[in-house]
Structure 1
Amino acid sequence: MSYDTQLPHAPSPVAMRNGLGTAALVLGIIGTVSGFIPFFFWLAGILGLIALILGVIGTGRAKRGQASNKGVALTGAILGLAALILSIVGAVLAYTVVSDAADKIDKAIKDSAPKDPTSKAPLGKGAGKGAGKGATDPKAKALAADDTVVYDDDVKVTVSPAKKFSPSEYAAGHTAGNKAWQVTVTIENGGKKKFDTTLVTLDARAGKDGTTAEQIFDDKVGSGFSGTVLPGKKATATFAFDAPAAAEDLTVEVSPGLDYNASQWELKVG
């Protein structure tokens, strides 16, 4: 008698699906590293999100016995979450840096813009009359003699009344038959920084037609300003201009420098 005995076949091994867990770990590492690199927050965010999703799926597979790398998948998910947090922090820091840089650029542009005269405080007779924005403001009126204009940085400019002036024999800029007029310009530094007078310029026009009044140079006038004015100090210089004999007014324009708008004084002559 023979017995035919059949033994049960051993079940075939299940292939482990570890790919997602491994991918989560790799992407989580790259994303976390990217989170520490300035302005790579966007890459950290993208990779971190993918790593987190793949890590969660990979961990689920490991719990169901479909994968054997639960620790790898869990680590990838944690690193993905860390990369997401770093991306948020990086985005905030990047926004702050860009915003600060934009503010500094705006401030630099404003500081480099010409300073406008204002009438912020009375400074004596007729202080600040018609100040506004000096020569750049079409509505601005010329100032009168002894009026003082105050600029944004507290630099103050005053022009005296015009007085008759007798040029010397060797004076330059004077035409025979014309009259010469002398004005005194005072600059007071009410600010907190030194004021450089090197770039102070004066121009003048005479009469209704606005004829250019040439500046006169001799041993008495024409040397102008020089050096710097310390805070709280003043500087004074005398100038003379040549005007037609029939002119009844002299318009003197003073520009304290390249960073300033010029202001005009209407002076009576004749």
Structure 2
Amino acid sequence: MSQFTQSPQSPQPQQPYGPAHTPGMRPARNGLGIAALVLGVIGAVSGLIPLLFWLAGILGVIALVLGLAGRGRVKRGEATNKGATTFGAVLGLVSLILAVVGAVITFKAVGDAVDDIDKAISETTASAKPKPGGDSAKGGDAAGKDKKKDTAGALEAGDSAVYDDDLTVTVGEATSYTPDEYAAGHTKGNKAYRVAVVIENAGKEKFDSALVNVTARAGKEGVDAEQIFDDKVGAGFSGTVLPGKKVTVQFAFDTPADAKNLTVEVNPGFTYDASQWDLKL
């Protein structure tokens, strides 16, 4: 009887299913450094445009914070992009500096523009004030017509308010007026008075008379005198007055029967000071 012997087989080592993994090692966390670099670049470019100083400032702060946090990760061995993180933080600081410079430039430019506008408005307003003058007649007229007076107070019939742009406004005497039967603005029992308003343009620029506003108040109480409209009066000013030309318009106002005076106010336009005439009735 023969005995068979079988040599033992050595066991085959089991191969792992995945790649070898070193215990204790984690992937690098480079996200903060990359974000700091990207935001720093955008912030620095924005800072080169003064009007975008606000964007450069916001991105600069974020980039600087992320860059410093990223450097902390690099020191702890959690990240490997030290150069990008450092450069991102530096760009964040540069963005902040450019933001401050841009803000200074922008605010200075805005301030200068506001000052220029205020100066232009002041010059326009100053040129729209009546000129103070004496009581001498214009052109040596002994009758005293078209007199230039200081318009700090009310003028009298026939006086002129002369503005710095050589626009002259003259209001004549108030004369009794009889409105027609279809007139608007006249109350039965009241009296009506007609006033001629003359505008002469002695300046160098044409004048838009459509902006002229004429109102009146009557009596000691200064009640509003309603303007009368019919086929002869009430049309008002319209069109343009060329340099060297004048235009005359008739106005009529409704006043209480016992009124002894009529105060007429003429405002040549938005940039002019109004002038007043105290007319005897």
2:64 aligned with 1:49: yes
CA contact (8 A) 1:205 1:212 kept: yes
1:91 matched residue in structure 2 = 103
Structure 1's unaligned 5+ residue stretches are 1-14, 131-140
1:234 matched residue in structure 2 = 246
2:159 aligned with 1:144: no
- Looking at structure 1, the residues matched to 240 and 219 of structure 2 have their Cα atoms a distance apart, in angstroms, of 34
CA contact (8 A) 2:57 2:96 kept: no
- Looking at structure 1, the residues matched to 203 and 38 of structure 2 have their Cα atoms a distance apart, in angstroms, of 57
Over 3 Å counting, the alpha-carbon distance change for 1:150 and 1:31 in structure 2 is farther
Over 3 Å counting, the alpha-carbon distance change for 1:119 and 1:23 in structure 2 is same
Over 3 Å counting, the alpha-carbon distance change for 1:221 and 1:95 in structure 2 is closer
Over 3 Å counting, the alpha-carbon distance change for 1:121 and 1:128 in structure 2 is closer
Structure 2's unaligned 5+ residue stretches are 1-24, 47-51, 139-146
Q: Secondary structure in 2 aligned to 1:148?
A: strand
Q: Secondary structure in 2 aligned to 1:265?
A: strand
After TM superposition, the structure 1 = structure 2 runs for residues 76-225 of structure 1, keeping only pairs within 5 Å, are: 76-96=88-108, 99=111, 103=114, 118-122=129-133, 125-130=147-152, 141-149=153-161, 156-162=168-174, 164-165=175-176, 167=178, 172=183, 180-189=192-201, 195-210=207-222, 213-217=225-229, 219-225=231-237
2:9 matched residue in structure 1 = none
- Looking at structure 1, the residues matched to 89 and 223 of structure 2 have their Cα atoms a distance apart, in angstroms, of 83
Over 3 Å counting, the alpha-carbon distance change for 1:56 and 1:225 in structure 2 is same
CA contact (8 A) 2:60 2:93 kept: no
Question: C-alpha displacement at 1:30, in angstroms?
Answer: 0.9
Q: Secondary structure in 1 aligned to 2:39?
A: helix
Question: C-alpha displacement at 1:265, in angstroms?
Answer: 1.1
2:273 aligned with 1:251: no
Over 3 Å counting, the alpha-carbon distance change for 1:25 and 1:213 in structure 2 is closer
Q: How many residues align?
A: 236
Q: Provide Cα deviations, 1:162-210, integer angstroms capped at 9, x if missing partner.
A: 3x34547657366788665432212245677654333433333333344
2:39 matched residue in structure 1 = 30
CA contact (8 A) 1:44 1:86 kept: no
- Looking at structure 1, the residues matched to 87 and 188 of structure 2 have their Cα atoms a distance apart, in angstroms, of 98
2:141 matched residue in structure 1 = none
CA contact (8 A) 1:28 1:47 kept: no
Question: C-alpha displacement at 1:227, in angstroms?
Answer: 1.5
CA contact (8 A) 1:194 1:231 kept: yes
Over 3 Å counting, the alpha-carbon distance change for 1:231 and 1:252 in structure 2 is same
- Looking at structure 1, the residues matched to 63 and 243 of structure 2 have their Cα atoms a distance apart, in angstroms, of 58
Q: Secondary structure in 2 aligned to 1:238?
A: strand
Over 3 Å counting, the alpha-carbon distance change for 1:48 and 1:156 in structure 2 is farther
TM-score by length of 2: 0.57
Question: C-alpha displacement at 1:243, in angstroms?
Answer: 4.6
Question: C-alpha displacement at 1:33, in angstroms?
Answer: 0.7
Question: C-alpha displacement at 1:232, in angstroms?
Answer: 5.7
Paired residue type of 2:130: S
TM-score by length of 1: 0.59
- Looking at structure 2, the residues matched to 66 and 199 of structure 1 have their Cα atoms a distance apart, in angstroms, of 76
Paired residue type of 2:238: S
- Looking at structure 2, the residues matched to 243 and 79 of structure 1 have their Cα atoms a distance apart, in angstroms, of 78
Over 3 Å counting, the alpha-carbon distance change for 1:83 and 1:207 in structure 2 is closer
